[in-house]
Structure 1
Amino acid sequence: MNLNAIKIGIIIFLLAAVVVIHHLPIHGFLGKHILHRELFFFPIVMAALWFGLKASLITAVSASIFYAQFFYHNIDSSRISIAVVGLQVTGFNLMALLTGWMVNRQRRQRRERDFLNETFGKYVSKAVRDEILGGRVTLNGELKEVTVLFSDLRDFTRLVETTPPREVVTIINTYFKSMTEAINAHHGLVLQFIGDEIEAVFGAPVALEHHQQWAVDAALEMRTRLSRVNLDLANQGFQPLQHGIGLHTGKVVAANIGSTQRLSYALVGETVNIASRIQELNKDFDSDILISAAVRQGLERCIEMHPLPPVPVKGILEPLNLFSINPTT
């Protein structure tokens, strides 16, 4: 017997017990059924707390029928009137409505909160999610120093043109799932998927110490995970994937941005543009992870990398000093 069946049995038993007590020949104060009618509220409230509005109304209607039926056959106008009985029956149903509505409302809010937690948890780590949902960070706009990560698949357009759509979706979702897990594991936030590109941030909306190190560690894990993804894809008969990752540290404006119909948490500023350009430069240097000097300066431990010649970038006054992380790192 499951728990709900036991609860239903308890409610029925209480309702039956009150009906029996209600019909006992009790004299004096209790004989006026002051206590009897109050006892009917117990099964009504229990039904509401355990099962919600529908069950509480069913119990209230049942209690009303039993209560009214007794006075219909045993009416004594000198002690109680039809109006009093009607008022009491109304009280039963009002109690059921109020309690059941409150319980249903709380359950709906809990389901919505759980759904939000579960959905939000797919995009951020548990720690970041809890900070945001707990109201301990602002989403209305703030200037923050962060590390921005861009990742882009190589030759994916050609793959799309030569692969059935269903298989393309399988491949891209497999890749995104694995890369997102790597980013989340290092306290990053995936901001958006743009075609076959991933944009992520470390240090927003929740401040993160040593965000440069966390971002580089995430990029290294993404490299490792890509090998595993390619192994899985090879077992399914698909060609291996290659990607390029670019990292840059700087100031951004971080906020909920959009229209009244749709908002998204986004970053605005030159730092974002530079990170995207760095990711694209992987093609020129035949590399898979490039970081800026600003990222390198914030690292907490030594990582094998080699410097590249300063690179002029359109829209940026000073050439970028970049470093390529060794493939064996």
Structure 2
Amino acid sequence: MRCLAIVLACLVWAVPAAAQTLAENNARLFDEIAEARGVSPAQLDRIRAIFAASPVLGQGNPAITRHAMTRAECNARAGGNALAAYVNRRFERICGAKFMAPLYDPATQRPEDATVCIDQFEYPNIPCAYPVVWVKAKEAAEICAAEGKRLCDAHEWEGACQGALTPPDYRFDLARGLSASAAVNRMRAAHNAKYEGTARWSYGPAFRRGVCAQNSEKSPTCPGGGWKNCGSNTYPAGSFAGCASPLKVYDLNGNVAEHMNLPLAPDQMASAGSTTLGVTEMKGSWFIWDKYRAHPDWCRWRAPYWHGDRVMSPRSHENYHLGFRCCKTSGQTPGSQEF
């Protein structure tokens, strides 16, 4: 029955996106999350409720989205079975979940020394699934919490990309007494200046075209933005095997940009157990980067305060090329972080 379910899911996903409604796509997505990753019925109920509260949350507007690669093509690249190709039993033992990678510093640690893990793929964290987009930072944090995970802090995403998780070095001293926007921009400038000389990408020391999921097309009607005008013309997650960091995390460059938590004070760090959280930080690049590079996208680069808000604000930003992935602290259990 399990094999039949996977075959049927692949057949369903072969139907052109325009033939499906967002609700139908999401219903199949929830089934696949349960099938591929073993997310529990109770967790799925919480995830469904978050999706149901949004008119746009999902894998893109099916009326206009034209994905750059089919899921069948992605599976073929993975030898015919992406779920099997990306299984890593060692990582599963360390992280206690499928398709997560331990974050550590290879210079001084082993994977087993990791105290935090990160999703290997953009949410829904399933090989060859299309990323979830049109998600607010608040919704991303809530979805992660529903699975017993959390939104990553900026330095964790950067460590996953760089290939070494090092201690956080947020310049909280530069943020004191300033507005959020002024604090972010002052902290960002100091951070980028510190790391620019050692800039690298997830796949290597120099920017390269053709390596990641970055050669898609923007919808012709999209320049003005909006749900009705912009297709989420993404690739399936993990479709470029070479677009991986040294820690085996995929699509950090390319496919979708990703929500992250940027703390402005020590008590806003998700990695320290905070549910207050800081402000939004959008990491990485997106699916047309081989054609149009809107900003730098090296691993430790931090963005200006674009569409800035508190992570948990109901006004936090959403758009057609913005997704997320989750982190998990060792010992974190389902429901251990509630909002």
User: What band does the TM-score fall into relative to the shorter chain?
Assistant: under 0.3
Q: Which structure exhibits the higher relative contact order, with contacts defined as CA atoms closer than 8 Å and separated by 6 or more residues?
A: 2
Q: Which has the higher strand share?
A: 1
TM-score by length of 1: 0.25
Larger Rg: 1
TM-score by length of 2: 0.24
